[in-house]
Amino acid sequence: MDRIAIVGGARLNGSIPISGAKNSAIKLMAASLLTDEPLRLTNMPRLADTRFLGHLLTRLGAIIEERDTETGPETILHTPEIVSSFAPYDLVRQMRASFNVLGPLIARTGHAKVSLPGGCTIGARPVDLHLQALEALGAKIDLHEGYVYATAPRGLRGAEIEFPFVSVGATEHAMLAAVLAKGVTVLKNCACEPEIVDLAECLTKMGAQIEGEGTTTITITGVERLHGATHAVITDRIEAGTYAVAAAMAGGEVRLTNTRADLIEALLVKIEEAGAEVERTNDGVVIRRNGARLKAVDVDTGVYPGFATDLQAQFMALMTLADGESVIREHIFENRFMHAPELARLGADIAVSGGEARVRGVEQLEGAPVMATDLRASVSLVIAGLAARGETIVSRVYHLDRGFERLEEKLGACGANVRRIKGEAVPEIGE
C-alpha cells in the first residue's frame, strides 16, 4: 500500500484551491436515487469515498458519468429505474455513509435491504437514530444477520421526530426519506452543519419543500416526485481547516481559495490565539506565520458552529510545538485520540485521559515512521511531518485518500517536500 514521505522544515508559500466537501458530496449522491431524472453535481471531489459510493449506486441502478470541465470536476448521476434495493455488506462496509441509501430506497420503492455500516474506528456511532426516524415515518424495520430489512408498501408518511441528541447523519437521513413522504414532517433538535444546508438546497432544486435548514427545526412537506437538477457541492470546510493548520504549523503564507472563512471561524479564532495571522478574504482565507513560536491554546470540540471534531487531530499536531500546555477535550466521539501515540513517535508530549488530551509543547519534532489510524488522524501526521526535523513516513494513507484530494500536489505547490511512495494496492475494505 502507498505511503507518504515528508521532509520537514520547508515554509509554505502559495495558494491552495479547496475542493468540494466530501461529507456533503456523498449525501448528495445518495439523493440522486430519489428521482428518475439526472442530478448534475458540480465542484465534485474525486475521492476514494465518492468512488466507493459510486460503485454501490451503480449496483442499485444509477448511471454515473464523471466530467472534467473548464469550471472544475462534475458528476452526473441518473437512476431511471431502481434495479436492486439490496446494498450488500461488501460495498456498504467500505464507507459508513453508504448506509444513507436506505432512506431514498424506501422512499422511492417501498422496500430495501441494506447492510449495517462499517466506517472509521473512532468510536461507536450506532445508526439507532436513523432507524427510529424511518420507523416514525412509517417504515417497518427488521434486523437480521447484520442487515436492515425495511418495508413501507403504502409509502412513507409525515411525522414529528425529535432527535434525543444532535446527529448530522440522522438529520440528513431523515431529510432524504421525508421529502417523498405523504404530509408534513417536522424534525427537531436537528444538526445545523453547513452540509445539512447544502443537502436541503439541492433537494429544493429537485422539487422538495424544505424550511428551516441550518436551524434546529426543519419542516418538510412531502411531494409526489422529485426531478433532476444542477447543484454545486459546498466547499470542504474540513479540507480548508486542515490546510489552514498546515500553514500555521510550517510557517510562511498560504492563501486558501474557493472556500469561505465563516465555515471554519471557530478554528480561525484558535489559530489567531496561537499566534498566527489570519486574513479573511472574499473567496477564502490567508494564513501567515513568520516563524515565531506558537502559543498553547485550549480547545473543546462541539457541534457546528463549534470547533469541528474533524479538525481536532490537526489542531493537536499544531499544539505539539506550542509554548506551554494545551488541553484538548473531545465531546463528539470517544476513542478519537488514536493519533496521539503516533504523534508521540515524532517526539510530541501528549497525555490522554478519557476524552481529554494534555499537550505539552516541545521545542522540536523529529521525523519517524508513523501509521495512520483513521482519515483525520492520517493528515495530522502529515501536518506534524511538515515541521519535524528529518523525514517522516506515513503509512496506511488509504485512510487519507478517502477525504483529501491531491494532497501531495496541493502542499507541494506551496513548497512542501512531500511525495507519495507507491506500494501494493490496498484491498477495498472498511476502516
- pLDDT of 126 higher than 80: no
- The per-residue pLDDT for 125 is 52
- The per-residue pLDDT for 336 is 85
DSSP string, 73-139: EEEEEE-SS----EE-HHHHTT-GGGGGGHHHHHHHHSEEEEEPP---SSS----HHHHHHHHHTT-
- pLDDT of 185 higher than 80: yes
**Distance between CA 273 and CA 262 in Å, rounded?**
17
pLDDT in tens, 392-401: 999 999 989 9
- Report how far apart, in Å, the C-alpha atoms of 19 and of each of 72, 260, 323, 388 are: 9, 12, 33, 27
Tell me the average pLDDT across 343-370.
97
**Is there a binding annotation on residue 3?**
no
Contact 246, 41 (CB under 8 A): no
pLDDT band at residue 425 using 50, 70 and 90 as cut-offs: low
Q: What is the DSSP letter of 311?
A: G
pLDDT band at residue 430 using 50, 70 and 90 as cut-offs: very low
pLDDT band at residue 11 using 50, 70 and 90 as cut-offs: very high
345 burial (CB, 10 Å; 0-12 / 13-18 / 19+) is: middle
- pLDDT of 306 higher than 90: yes
**Is there a binding annotation on residue 336?**
no
Contact 245, 380 (CB under 8 A): no
Tell me the average pLDDT across 226-240.
98
Q: Is 202 a catalytic residue?
A: no
Q: Do domains 3-16+236-421 and 24-232 have the same CATH topology?
A: yes
**Is there a binding annotation on residue 129?**
yes
Going by C-alpha positions, the residue among 118, 114, 108 that lies closest to residue 131 is: 114
Q: What is the mean pLDDT of the chain?
A: 94
**Is there a binding annotation on residue 335?**
no
The residue assigned the cell 491554546 is: 297
69 burial (CB, 10 Å; 0-12 / 13-18 / 19+) is: exposed
Tell me the average pLDDT across 30-43.
98
Highest-confidence segment of 22-31, 375-384, 419-428:
22-31
**What's the number of CA atoms in the CB half-sphere (13 Å) around residue 406?**
12
pLDDT band at residue 424 using 50, 70 and 90 as cut-offs: low
> What is the side-by-side strand order in the sheet with 63-69?
63-69, 72-78, 39-42, 229-232
Q: Which element (helix H / strand E) includes 54? A: helix 48-60
Return all residues near 369 (Cβ < 8 A) that are at least 6 apart. 345, 392, 393, 395
- The per-residue pLDDT for 213 is 98
Going by C-alpha positions, the residue among 263, 306, 380 that lies closest to residue 18 is: 263
**Is there a binding annotation on residue 127?**
yes
DSSP string, 239-275: HHHHHHHHHHHH-EEEEEESS-GGGGHHHHHHHHHTT
Q: What is the DSSP letter of 295?
A: B
Give, in words, the CATH class of 3-16+236-421: alpha beta
- The per-residue pLDDT for 118 is 60
**Is there a binding annotation on residue 96?**
yes
**Distance between CA 206 and CA 231 in Å, rounded?**
9
- The per-residue pLDDT for 117 is 86
pLDDT band at residue 376 using 50, 70 and 90 as cut-offs: confident
Residue boundaries of the structural domains of the chain: 3-16+236-421, 24-232
- Quote the percentage of the chain above a pLDDT of 90: 90
Tell me the average pLDDT across 292-298.
97
> What is the side-by-side strand order in the sheet with 277-281?
12-17, 252-257, 284-289, 277-281
- pLDDT of 5 higher than 70: yes
pLDDT band at residue 375 using 50, 70 and 90 as cut-offs: confident
Contact 28, 57 (CB under 8 A): no
**Distance between CA 424 and CA 94 in Å, rounded?**
18
**Is there a binding annotation on residue 128?**
yes
Contact 349, 360 (CB under 8 A): yes
DSSP helix/strand/coil, 227: coil
pLDDT band at residue 304 using 50, 70 and 90 as cut-offs: very high
For CA atoms 88, 89, 91, 96, give the dihedral sign.
positive
Full 3-state SS string of 318-338: HHCCCECEEEEECCCCCCCCC
- The per-residue pLDDT for 204 is 99
- pLDDT of 369 higher than 90: yes
Q: Which of 120, 190, 192, 414 is catalytic?
A: 120
**Is there a binding annotation on residue 401?**
no
pLDDT in tens, 73-120: 999 999 999 999 999 999 998 888 899 999 999 999 999 999 998 644
- Report how far apart, in Å, the C-alpha atoms of 82 and of each of 25, 35, 158, 304 are: 20, 10, 23, 35
pLDDT band at residue 427 using 50, 70 and 90 as cut-offs: very low
- pLDDT of 296 higher than 60: yes
**Is there a binding annotation on residue 34?**
no
- Measured N-to-C along each axis, helices 312-319 and 237-250 cross at an angle, to the nearest 10 degrees, of 10
Q: CATH classification of 24-232 is 3.65.10.10, yes or no?
A: yes
- The per-residue pLDDT for 334 is 77
Grid cell listed for 103: 432512506
Tell me the average pLDDT across 257-263.
98
DSSP string, 158-218: --EEE-SS--HHHHHHHHHHHTTSBSEEEEES----HHHHHHHHHHHHTT-EEE-TTSSEE
**Is there a binding annotation on residue 126?**
yes
pTM exceeding the 0.85 threshold for the entire prediction: yes
Tell me the average pLDDT across 33-61.
97
- The per-residue pLDDT for 38 is 98
